[in-house]
Amino acid sequence: MTIEPLEAAFRAAWPIERWADVPIVVGVSGGADSVALLRLIVAVRRASTPLPDGKSDETIIVAHVNHGLRGQSSNDDRDFVLRLSLECQTWCSFLGTALITERFRGRDGLEANCRKARYDFFLEAARKYGARYIAVAHTADDQAETILHHVLRGTGLAGLGGMTMFRAMNDAVTLARPLLGVRRSEIIAYLEAIGQPWREDATNFESTFTRNRLRNELIPQLAREYNADIVPALVRLGEQAREAHDVVEQAARQLADRCVNPSAASDDAAVVIDCTPLVRASRHVVRELFVQIWRDRDWPRQAMGFAEWDALAAIALGEADQTPTRVFPGNVAAKRTGETLELKRRGWE
Amino acid sequence: MTIEPLEAAFRAAWPIERWADVPIVVGVSGGADSVALLRLIVAVRRASTPLPDGKSDETIIVAHVNHGLRGQSSNDDRDFVLRLSLECQTWCSFLGTALITERFRGRDGLEANCRKARYDFFLEAARKYGARYIAVAHTADDQAETILHHVLRGTGLAGLGGMTMFRAMNDAVTLARPLLGVRRSEIIAYLEAIGQPWREDATNFESTFTRNRLRNELIPQLAREYNADIVPALVRLGEQAREAHDVVEQAARQLADRCVNPSAASDDAAVVIDCTPLVRASRHVVRELFVQIWRDRDWPRQAMGFAEWDALAAIALGEADQTPTRVFPGNVAAKRTGETLELKRRGWE
């Protein structure tokens, strides 16, 4: 028996020791990527722990959400996943139906809402079956699409990092994307090699959503006209952006150690910053310092954009006109007195 | 007299104090951007230092290169620049002809060769007239094109920074791009407001070169289909990438202070690195440390790519199989002994 190259890549990305015995929810749409993911998980686990005769694997929970957006085709996907799950002898096929109401049918609203419905459902399955992981089938192609989407939207460097292979969803559950380094073409080759069919997702071939237009139009066009290796180029850019952002975050933490004085705060709702050490730091690091303060305090960050973080940096670096107090979104007041900057969330004393 | 908004932006980007009295070479193709640049430089300097009657300004040197690629149209550009230069009472129109030979007519070869010919010519003019600056008319649109080009080619984060507003070309001459924050549309509005005509560059409308295809096809398409503000989004991404890269570079310098031991080197051609402090550093910083060592030593970096820097990081972090010696491009040998890594350029002892 030969081990497929994809199986080797999968084993390297997600060593079996980490998940040999723990329950896993596997998100399976019926498309090539998620069908391959399920087959890989099942194959690797059976190689490690064979199933007794007549038993099914109680720790692999196949989860499928029927958004009901494509009529009979959606139902056929569900039936396909159910059959696949039985063939794989996984214990439970967790089939959900999340109908999306009309008000979410707007371009980004519908897409985002479907995603939220899926993840809520996966988390519910994880809680019910005590799963440690939720495994989803994002590939290097998905990653490249995410990164290009961020480039086009202008979300800046922090957003450019794309998806990570593992991400804690809560204290008990980790989201795993073990195929994130794998090209979609490798997945197709694997499924053909093992004779495993899959369902084509009809919506993938429509260009209704930005994401599908990126996938079906822009990336193929860029590969054709500019760089045949556009997908790995974008993936590498994302990795480098994430690494650089980690360096900036670490520098900001070190800076916080030197300039944030917990004992000087008048009360728990306030942060007192000594601005003297900031002038030798990079402005980028100073902005990140404020992001971290907001995150640590759980102050609302939704309305804080680049302009707001930069305005805080300008005040801290002594560049801003000395307004006695400036109030930022989320009702956080910044007041500079000499070399001291005090941040305080109003109405929360 | 009202000062045009573009003139105010120009004055803010490049304060007159820095160049009030120094000779400047201005690269003028005859296109809108460079015509506006010349008019701005002349207007701002005349406002500061009026010209005596009948005199011309001996410190503004208009430099124009005729690549001879477009026949009569190229000659008309040259004549246009000559007339403009006389109207502006600049002292000298430095007109060059750089015919490009057939062997450089390959896609990128021709473009790169034209650029090199222009900059060599500008530097020659700067030396001849003792100029402190070479001013060129790159705009925010050019910057966005550069950044998108790097995204597509996959040059990674360091290449994503794009062009800087000022860059030392040698000990005596600085390249200045004072219009780097200005949109092309603002330049057109300015020229129309002051009634100054310009030449359309015929090659700009051809899509022969990657750069022109980015400008004339891809960026307008992305603005239409994905984000109307794609140009400022790309410019901001470049700024953030540059800032993040500065933070990484600084971290690498601090790391070098702790782990590069100049006195331990067996001779001047060798660098001795204590690998112990590296394990706590980010891999990105470790790679950048090696880039800096190469740069400081003036070792050849052309053939060193991401894979090579990362292989060095793997050796330094103790991840690589312990090969006694690995030789990198440019004949630099890396040899790890215990916690010590020695780098040595062979044949240069």
pLDDT digits (tens, 9 = 90+) for B220-255: 999 999 999 999 999 989 988 988 888 999 999 999
Contact B134, B176 (CB under 8 A): yes
Residue A13 CA to residue A6 CA, distance in Å, equals: 10
Report pLDDT for B51. Answer: 84
State the first-to-last Cα distance of chain A, in angstroms, to the nearest integer. 67
A348 pLDDT above the threshold of 60: no
**How far is A230 from chain B, CA to nearest CA, in Å?**
6
Report pLDDT for A349. Answer: 45
Helix (H, G, I), strand (E, B) or coil at B64: strand
Q: Which residues contact B257 (CB under 8 A, 6 or more apart)?
A: none
Cα dihedral A201, A207, A208, A212 in deg (nearest 10): 70
| Mean pLDDT within B156-173 | 89
What's the pLDDT tens digit per position in B328-349?
Answer: 998 999 999 888 999 998 875 4
| Mean pLDDT within A171-175 | 95
Confidence bin at B169 (pLDDT 50/70/90): very high
Average pLDDT of every residue of chain A: 87
Which one of A154, A233, A248 has the shortest CB-CB distance to B244?
Answer: A248
User: Within A160-305, where are the H helices?
Assistant: 184-194, 210-213, 219-225, 230-259, 283-297
- Which residue of B lies nearest to A225 if distances are taken between CA atoms? B210
Q: Name which residue leads in pLDDT, A207 or A189.
A: A189
- Which residue of A lies nearest to B147 if distances are taken between CA atoms? A151
Percent of chain B with pLDDT over 90: 55
Which helix (H) or strand (E) is B237 found in, with range?
A: helix B230-259
Residues forming CATH 3.40.50.620 domain(s) in chain B: 5-234
**How far is A282 from chain B, CA to nearest CA, in Å?**
7
**Are the beta carbons of B237 and A154 separated by less than 8 Å?**
yes
Which residues in chain A have Cβ-Cβ distances shorter than 8 Å to B230?
Answer: 152, 154
Confidence bin at A100 (pLDDT 50/70/90): low
**How far is B84 from chain A, CA to nearest CA, in Å?**
38
| Mean pLDDT within A262-288 | 83
Report pLDDT for B220. Answer: 96
DSSP labels, A80-145: HHHHHHHHTTEEEEEEEE-PPPGGG-SHHHHHHHHHHHHHHHHHHHHHHHT-SEEE----HHHHHH
Q: Which two tokens stand for residue A22?
A: 């723990």
Report pLDDT for A206. Answer: 59
Helix (H, G, I), strand (E, B) or coil at B94: strand
Which residues in chain A have Cβ-Cβ distances shorter than 8 Å to B289?
Answer: none
Report pLDDT for B226. Answer: 93
Identify the weakest region by mean pLDDT among A156-170, A242-256, B14-28, B95-109: B95-109
| Mean pLDDT within B79-107 | 73
HSE-up (13 A, CA, CB side) for residue B74: 14
What's the pLDDT tens digit per position in A118-166?
Answer: 888 899 999 999 999 999 999 999 999 999 999 998 877 877 888 999 9
Helix (H, G, I), strand (E, B) or coil at B131: coil
Which residues in chain A have Cβ-Cβ distances shorter than 8 Å to B234?
Answer: 151, 154
| Mean pLDDT within B111-136 | 88
Confidence bin at B109 (pLDDT 50/70/90): low
Which residues in chain A have Cβ-Cβ distances shorter than 8 Å to B242?
Answer: none
Which residues in chain A have Cβ-Cβ distances shorter than 8 Å to B226?
Answer: 152-153, 210, 218
Topology annotation, domain A260-345: 3.30.465
Confidence bin at A113 (pLDDT 50/70/90): confident
- Which residue of A lies nearest to B222 if distances are taken between CA atoms? A152
| Mean pLDDT within A67-92 | 85
Identify the weakest region by mean pLDDT among A125-134, A167-176, A214-223, B108-117: B108-117
| Mean pLDDT within B126-140 | 95
Residue A75 CB coordination number (10 Å) = 13
Report pLDDT for B1. Answer: 42
**Are the beta carbons of B245 and A246 separated by less than 8 Å?**
no
Q: Which amino acid is at A119?
A: Y
Residue A46 CA to residue B23 CA, distance in Å, equals: 77
Residue B95 CA to residue B92 CA, distance in Å, equals: 9
Report pLDDT for A275. Answer: 92
B108 pLDDT above the threshold of 80: no
What's the pLDDT tens digit per position in B284-302?
Answer: 899 999 999 999 888 988 8
**How far is A246 from chain B, CA to nearest CA, in Å?**
8
**Are the beta carbons of B247 and A244 separated by less than 8 Å?**
yes
Residues forming CATH 3.30.465 domain(s) in chain A: 260-345
Which residues in chain A have Cβ-Cβ distances shorter than 8 Å to B247?
Answer: 244, 247-248, 251, 282, 284-285
**Are the beta carbons of A284 and B246 separated by less than 8 Å?**
yes
| Mean pLDDT within A29-50 | 93
- Kindly list the distances between the CA atom of residue A1 and the CA atoms of A187, A194, A197, B11, in Å, as whole numbers in the listed order: 19, 12, 21, 73
Q: Which CATH architecture has domain B5-234?
A: 3-Layer(aba) Sandwich (3.40)
Is B236 an 8 Å CB contact of chain A?
A: yes
Q: Name which residue leads in pLDDT, A54 or A42.
A: A42
Confidence bin at A95 (pLDDT 50/70/90): confident
Report pLDDT for A109. Answer: 64
| Mean pLDDT within B51-71 | 83
Tell me how many residue pairs between chain A and chain B have CB atoms under 8 A apart. 103
Which residues in chain A have Cβ-Cβ distances shorter than 8 Å to B151?
Answer: 151, 233-234, 237
**Are the beta carbons of A246 and B282 separated by less than 8 Å?**
yes
Which residues in chain B have Cβ-Cβ distances shorter than 8 Å to A232?
Answer: 154
Which residues in chain B have Cβ-Cβ distances shorter than 8 Å to A240?
Answer: 156-157, 284
Report pLDDT for A101. Answer: 52
**Are the beta carbons of A247 and B285 separated by less than 8 Å?**
yes
Q: Exposed e or buried b for every residue in B262-301, given b needs 16+ CB within 10 A?
A: eeebeeebbbbbbbeebeebbbbbbbbbbbbbbeebebee
- Which residue of A lies nearest to B232 if distances are taken between CA atoms? A154
Report pLDDT for B349. Answer: 45
Q: Name which residue leads in pLDDT, B70 or B129.
A: B129
Confidence bin at A305 (pLDDT 50/70/90): confident
| Mean pLDDT within A162-177 | 94
Report pLDDT for A324. Answer: 75
Residues forming CATH 3.40.50.620 domain(s) in chain A: 5-235
Contact B222, B231 (CB under 8 A): no
**Are the beta carbons of B154 and A226 separated by less than 8 Å?**
no
**Predicted-assembly ipTM surpassing the 0.90 threshold:** no
What's the pLDDT tens digit per position in A188-202?
Answer: 999 999 999 999 876
**Are the beta carbons of A152 and B306 separated by less than 8 Å?**
no
Confidence bin at A280 (pLDDT 50/70/90): confident
Is B226 an 8 Å CB contact of chain A?
A: yes
Is B26 an 8 Å CB contact of chain A?
A: no
Contact B306, A236 (CB under 8 A): yes
Average pLDDT of every residue of chain B: 87
Q: Which two tokens stand for residue B234?
A: 């790309």
Identify the weakest region by mean pLDDT among A97-106, B172-181, B191-200, B274-283: A97-106
| Mean pLDDT within A219-233 | 95
Confidence bin at B208 (pLDDT 50/70/90): low
- Which residue of A lies nearest to B219 if distances are taken between CA atoms? A152
**Are the beta carbons of B234 and A282 separated by less than 8 Å?**
no
Q: Is B338 exposed, middle or buried (0-12, 13-18, 19+ CB in 10 A)?
A: exposed
Q: Which two tokens stand for residue A49?
A: 């722990």
**Are the beta carbons of B237 and A152 separated by less than 8 Å?**
no
Residue A259 CB coordination number (10 Å) = 21
**Are the beta carbons of A282 and B230 separated by less than 8 Å?**
no
Q: Name which residue leads in pLDDT, A127 or A209.
A: A127
Contact B144, B161 (CB under 8 A): no
Contact A161, A247 (CB under 8 A): no
Identify the weakest region by mean pLDDT among A184-193, B1-10, B281-290: B1-10
DSSP labels, A6-67: HHHHHHHHS-GGGTSSS-EEEE--SSHHHHHHHHHHHHHHHHHSPPPTT--EEEEEEEEEE-
Is A250 an 8 Å CB contact of chain B?
A: yes
**How far is B167 from chain A, CA to nearest CA, in Å?**
20
Report pLDDT for B105. Answer: 53
Percent of chain A with pLDDT over 70: 89
Residue A346 CA to residue A343 CA, distance in Å, equals: 9
A2 pLDDT above the threshold of 60: no
Report pLDDT for B155. Answer: 78
State the first-to-last Cα distance of chain B, in angstroms, to the nearest integer. 67
**How far is B60 from chain A, CA to nearest CA, in Å?**
34
Which one of B156, B218, B227 has the shortest CB-CB distance to A236?
Answer: B156
Residue B176 CA to residue B191 CA, distance in Å, equals: 21
Topology annotation, domain A5-235: Rossmann fold (3.40.50)
Report pLDDT for A1. Answer: 42
